[in-house]
C-alpha cells in the first residue's frame, strides 16, 4: 500500500544515523552523569559535549548562554514561562503572549493568570497569522516581566519577526523575551542571539521523542518546577537521558547543515502543492505565501476535513486535520479563529507538512487521492 507521510510538523522519523548512534551510546555510555566514577564521568563528558554542540548550532557563546536538557518543548515552555514569572514576580505582574501559541504556552499563561494572579495580555494576530510589532509596542510598559511569542506557528507556518519583537521587549529592562522555536529550528532563520530564552523539541528535526531543551542567557534566574537533585543546573532534577540529549545535538547539527538544501526542497513542494490546491474550488488556503515553506494549511468549504483526513489515511496519506496537540480538546482551531477565519473554516482545516524525502510525485498522488475523496464523500 502507498504510504506517504506528510505530517512532519507533528513529528518526524528519527534520522537513521541518529538512531544508530542512540543505540550505540545507550550501550557504551549508559552511565548516570551524576555518578562520580569513570562510567559516570564518561556520561557527563558526553552531556557537556551535547550542551556545547547545541549552543554552537545556534551560533551562541557558552560564556553567555546555557542549555538545559528537558523532556520536550512542552516542558521547556512551561519552565521558561512559569520559571521567569515566579522568579521575577516582584518586579511586575504583567505577562504577554499571543492568541495563536501552542497549548503548552497558551495554557501555561492561562494558569499563571487564573491560579497565580498575573495580569495576562494576549496579543492578536493579523489575517496572515503574524503578530504586528506595533501591537506589542502598544501594550509594553515597565510592569511587564515576560513576553512569549512563537517563531513559526505549528498550524499555519505563519512567521513572526522575532528580531523586531525582541528589540521592542529589550527597550524595557525588566522584561524577558521567550520564544517557542519548535517549528523553526533547522527550518527558518531565527535571530537566536536576540532571544533571552527559547524552547524546542528534538523530534521535529530527526531526534527522539522525549528530548527537548531550554536555551537561556546565563544571567536569568528561574524558579524550578520539579524538586529533585541538582541535575541540569538545579532546574530539572532526575537522571538525565544522556544518549537522547547527545542525539538531539546530532539531529540539530544535521538539520542546520542541511538547512539550505531542505528549505529549497520544501519551498518547491509548497509551491507545487499550492498550485494543485488552487485548482480545487472548495479549498481556501490559510497559510501565508511567505510563511514557513514546511507547512501548508487549508480549509475545505464543502466537506468535513476530519472525514477527508480519515479517508486519506485509509489510502495511505498521512496529514493532520487540526494541530495534533489540540485534537482531544477543542475541535475548532483557535489559531484560525484568531486569524479572522469563520467557524466553518476553523473547524475544517487540513495541515500538510512534508519532510525532506517527499517528492513532487508524492504531492501529486496526495492531490489525486484528495480530489477522488472530494468526489466520493458526501458534502457536509
Residue from 325, 337, 365, 377 touching ligand PMP (CB under 6 A): that is 325
Among candidate residues 67, 179, 247, 325, the one labeled active-site is: 325
Residue 325 bears catalytic tag = yes
Q: Does position 154 bind ligand PMP by CB under 6 A?
A: yes
Residue the block writes with cell 487521492? 369
Would you state the torsion angle of the CA atoms of residues 289, 375, 7, 98, taken in this order, to the nearest 10 degrees? 50
Question: According to CB under 6 A, which residues from 96 to 135 bind ligand PMP?
Answer: 102, 104
Per-residue mark of binding to ligand PMP, 207-226 (x: CB under 6 A): -----x--------------
Cell (9 digits) for 369: 487521492
Q: Which of 299, 306, 296 is nearest to 283 (CA)?
A: 299
Residue from 43, 47, 54, 73 touching ligand PMP (CB under 6 A): that is 73
Torsion over CA: 215, 187, 261, 193 (sign): negative
Residue from 85, 130, 201, 297 touching ligand PMP (CB under 6 A): that is 201
Q: Does position 178 bind ligand PMP by CB under 6 A?
A: no
The interface region with ligand PMP, picked from 70-78, 128-136, 169-177, 188-196 by CB under 6 A, is 70-78
Q: Does position 183 bind ligand PMP by CB under 6 A?
A: yes
| Residue with Cβ nearer ligand PMP (214 or 332) | 214
Would you state the torsion angle of the CA atoms of residues 10, 14, 15, 16, taken in this order, to the nearest 10 degrees? -150
Q: Does position 74 bind ligand PMP by CB under 6 A?
A: yes
Report the nearest approach of ligand PMP to the CB of residue 102 (Å).
Answer: 3
- How many other C-beta atoms lie within 10 A of the C-beta of residue 37? 9
Give backbone dihedrals phi and psi of 38, rounded to 5 degrees, phi first.
-60, -40
Q: What is the 3-state secondary structure (H, E, C) of 134-166?
A: HHHHHHCCCCEEEEECCCECCCCCCECCHHHHH
Beta bridge partner(s), residue 65: 217
The interface region with ligand PMP, picked from 30-38, 42-50, 68-76, 257-265 by CB under 6 A, is 68-76
| Residue with Cβ nearer ligand PMP (35 or 111) | 111
H helices present in 88-201, as ranges: 103-116, 133-139, 162-169
Enumerate the active-site residues.
325
Residues that bind ligand PMP (CB under 6 A): 72-74, 102, 104, 150, 154, 180, 182-183, 201, 203, 212, 325
Amino acid at each position: 500500500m502507498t504510504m506517504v507521510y506528510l505530517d512532519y510538523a507533528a513529528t518526524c522519523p528519527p534520522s537513521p544515523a541518529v538512531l544508530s548512534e542512540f543505540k550505540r551510546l545507550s550501550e557504551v555510555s549508559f552511565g548516570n552523569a551524576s555518578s562520580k566514577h569513570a562510567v559516570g564521568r564518561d556520561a557527563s563528558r558526553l552531556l557537556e559535549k551535547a550542551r556545547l554542540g547545541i549552543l554552537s548550532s545556534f551560533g551562541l557563546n557558552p560564556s553567555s548562554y546555557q542549555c538545559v536538557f528537558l523532556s520536550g518543548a512542552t516542558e521547556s515552555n512551561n519552565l521558561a514561562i512559569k520559571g521567569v514569572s515566579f522568579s521575577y514576580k516582584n518586579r511586575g505582574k504583567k505577562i504577554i503572549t499571543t492568541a495563536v501559541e501552542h497549548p503548552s504556552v497558551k495554557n501555561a499563561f492561562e494558569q499563571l493568570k487564573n491560579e497565580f494572579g498575573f495580569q495576562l495580555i494576549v496579543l492578536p494576530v493579523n489575517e496572515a497569522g503574524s503578530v504586528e510589532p506595533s501591537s506589542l509596542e502598544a501594550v509594553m510598559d515597565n510592569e511587564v516581566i515576560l513576553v512569549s511569542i512563537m517563531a513559526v506557528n505549528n498550524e499555519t507556518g505563519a512567521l513572526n519577526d522575532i528580531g523586531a519583537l525582541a528589540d521592542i521587549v529589550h527597550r524595557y529592562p525588566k522584561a524577558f523575551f521567550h520564544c517557542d522555536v519548535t517549528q523553526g529550528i533547522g527550518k527558518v532563520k531565527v535571530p537566536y542571539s536576540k532571544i533571552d530564552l527559547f524552547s524546542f523539541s528534538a523530534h521535529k528535526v530527526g531526534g527522539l521523542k522525549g528530548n527537548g531543551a531550554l536555551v537561556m542567557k546565563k544571567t536569568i534566574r528561574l524558579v524550578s518546577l520539579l524538586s529533585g537533585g541538582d541535575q541540569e543546573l538545579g532546574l530539572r532534577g532526575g537522571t538525565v537521558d544522556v544518549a537522547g540529549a547527545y542525539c538531539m545535538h546530532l539531529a540539530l547539527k544535521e538539520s542546520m547543515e542541511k538547512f539550505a538544501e531542505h528549505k529549497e526542497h520544501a519551498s518547491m513542494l509548497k509551491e507545487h502543492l499550492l498550485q494543485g490546491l488552487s485548482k480545487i474550488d472548495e479549498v481556501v488556503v490559510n497559510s501565508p505565501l511567505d510563511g514557513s515553506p514546511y507547512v501548508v494549511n487549508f480549509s475545505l468549504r464543502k466537506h468535513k476535513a476530519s472525514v477527508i483526513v480519515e479517508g486519506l489515511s485509509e489510502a495511505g496519506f498521512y496529514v493532520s486535520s487540526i494541530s495534533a496537540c489540540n485534537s482531544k480538546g477543542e475541535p475548532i482551531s483557535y489559531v484560525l479563529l484568531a486569524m479572522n477565519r469563520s467557524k466553518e473554516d476553523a473547524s475544517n482545516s487540513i495541515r500538510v507538512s512534508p519532510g525532506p524525502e517527499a517528492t513532487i510525485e508524492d504531492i501529486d498522488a496526495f492531490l489525486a487521492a484528495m480530489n477522488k475523496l472530494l468526489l466520493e464523500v458526501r458534502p457536509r
